Amino acid sequence: MVQLYESIIMALNSLRSNKTRSALTLLGIAIGLFSIIIVMTAISAIQGSFEEAFNEIGTNNIIIQKYPAIQTGHGDRMKYRNRKDLSVAQGEKLREMTTLPSAVGISLGKGSRTVKYNKEATNPNVYLVGVNNDEFVTSSYIIEDGRGFSRQDMSYSRNVCVVGNDIVKKLFKAIDPIGQKVTVDNMRLEVIGRFKEKGSVLGQSQDNFIIVPITVFTKYYGDNSSAEYSIQAPDNKRYQATMDQVIGALRTIRKVAPGAENDFEIVTNSQLISQFNDITKYFRVGAGVVAFIALVAAGIGIMNIMLVSVTERTREIGIRKAIGAQKNTIRFQFLAEATVLSLLGGISGIILGLIGGNIIAVLLKASVVVPVFWIVVGLIVTSAVGLVFGVYPAVKASNLDPIEALRYE
């Protein structure tokens, strides 16, 4: 332990005496670790935010829609666009034909709406959604004030709405929104409830929307856009059975031929997370390749600086051997110097990577994270780089002949 401590102190003193050369070598290691830590930190932060958003689907929920959640390729987009829309009537038929789901939510949406109250108006970016009553069960939104839609609201197509918190903040400020009348396009709606605030994910607000009974939506806008169904399984044990029953029923309703692929998309929480990981793995691989190249280059730099150090300290090595220093002691000393040099560069790269990655996360309004696993991996790798590339200089130093070393000028 004493030898280790003394070796580290001597290594630091040696690095201090060659500041410029040491700094350039440290820079190579730092760049390697910085490249991988900044990418992993940013991806971990973004992934955390995405998973938080994906979890809103619910572990027992299944989403059915016309388009996949993540699309790639122009050809695929054309294929999905040519599919028949999912209709409200098909959703109602699905409710009748299935027995396992505890709820079948049906929704239709229109973006870029403006909500007006007296002389106040929102930006034209509000999402208008028409829903059935089961949507309140399958969604993760909680009504904080007022109420949801009654059966009578649905049956009689009453012009009522429940609003997100962004609309409350923009239009009502200090006024109680319940009972107030707002206008959306040609609809005059009474506010009967407001949802609990959910905040934003990656800068995208989850509270900038207004919902109306689906019967009101179709009365004003028709049923000529594709609906979305949100199915809730009764529990985890019957999740797969519920999905199978729903898929079978919907294929029958939409007259999909036996053996043909579904003409609708099934979206689940785990599927979204898996697709996100598939996309980000290429960034991880890219960061790993950059880090590997930088670390190999830095390792060669470490070997070079240690060989120069052996040459410069040949006489010192001869004196230490003359007074009884063993080969193992000399070897350990130079390995310690190479490892300390590598670790200092690695720590610098990790700190810079954490700062840079979390700056990206903050700019994207994602959570700040510390990727402990990759920090540990980084420290292990940099230690290994120091040891591997320090072996040859250490062996060369330990094998110097003491008499020849003392004569060296």
Q: What is the DSSP string of 90-102?
A: HHHHHHHH-SS-S
Q: What does the mean pLDDT of the chain come to?
A: 84
Question: Count of CB atoms within 10 A of residue 176's CB?
Answer: 12
65 within domain boundaries? no
73 within domain boundaries? no
CA distance 126 to 155: 26
The last residue of a domain, from among 208, 231, 263:
263
Q: Locate 373 and state its tokens.
A: 């696993």
Same domain for 230 and 305, yes or no, is: no
Residue 402 predicted with pLDDT over 90: no
Average pLDDT over every residue of 300-314 = 78
Cβ–Cβ < 8 Å for 367, 45: yes
Cβ–Cβ < 8 Å for 227, 106: yes
64 within domain boundaries? no
pLDDT range class, residue 147, cuts 50, 70, 90: very high
CA distance 280 to 300: 31
Same domain for 278 and 247, yes or no, is: no
φ and ψ of 110, to 5 deg: -140, 130
Q: What pLDDT is stored for residue 403 in this prediction?
A: 67
The last residue of a domain, from among 210, 230, 263:
263
More confident residue, 243 or 337: 243
Q: What pLDDT is stored for residue 14 in this prediction?
A: 65
Same domain for 164 and 243, yes or no, is: yes
Same domain for 222 and 313, yes or no, is: no
More confident residue, 108 or 304: 108
Same domain for 122 and 182, yes or no, is: yes
120 within domain boundaries? yes
Same domain for 10 and 139, yes or no, is: no
Which amino acid, 378? Answer: G
Same domain for 259 and 288, yes or no, is: no
Number of domains composing the chain: 2
Among 34-38, 74-78, 218-222, where is mean pLDDT lowest? 74-78
Average pLDDT over every residue of 255-275 = 85
Question: Count of CB atoms within 10 A of residue 366's CB?
Answer: 23
269 within domain boundaries? no
Same domain for 103 and 236, yes or no, is: yes
Question: Count of CB atoms within 10 A of residue 69's CB?
Answer: 15
Average pLDDT over every residue of 178-187 = 94
Same domain for 108 and 248, yes or no, is: yes
The last residue of a domain, from among 208, 234, 263:
263
Average pLDDT over every residue of 111-133 = 94
Average pLDDT over every residue of 294-305 = 80
Q: What pLDDT is stored for residue 17 in this prediction?
A: 66
Angle among Cα 103, 108, 109 to the nearest 5 degrees reads: 130
Average pLDDT over every residue of 13-28 = 70
Average pLDDT over every residue of 189-203 = 86
66 within domain boundaries? no
Residue 94 predicted with pLDDT over 60: yes
More confident residue, 75 or 98: 98
27 within domain boundaries? yes
Same domain for 182 and 319, yes or no, is: no
Question: Count of CB atoms within 10 A of residue 371's CB?
Answer: 22
Closest CA to 153 of 172, 136, 177, 166: 136
Same domain for 181 and 317, yes or no, is: no
Angle among Cα 118, 119, 120 to the nearest 5 degrees reads: 95
Q: What pLDDT is stored for residue 10 in this prediction?
A: 65
Q: What pLDDT is stored for residue 18 in this prediction?
A: 67
Cβ–Cβ < 8 Å for 193, 147: yes
What percentage of the chain has pLDDT greater than the value 90? 37
268 within domain boundaries? no
Residue with token string 């919907």: 250
DSSP assignments along 283-328, one per residue: HHHHHHHHHHHHHHHHHHHHHHHHHHHHHHTHHHHHHHHHTT--HH
Beta bridge partners of 204: 201
Same domain for 218 and 294, yes or no, is: no
Cβ–Cβ < 8 Å for 46, 366: yes
Among 163-177, 208-222, 232-246, 319-333, where is mean pLDDT lowest? 319-333
Cβ–Cβ < 8 Å for 229, 104: yes
Expressed in angstroms, the distance from the first to the final Cα of the chain is: 34
Among 108-112, 275-279, 337-341, 346-350, where is mean pLDDT lowest? 275-279
Tell me which residue range forms the domain holding 298.
2-52+274-407
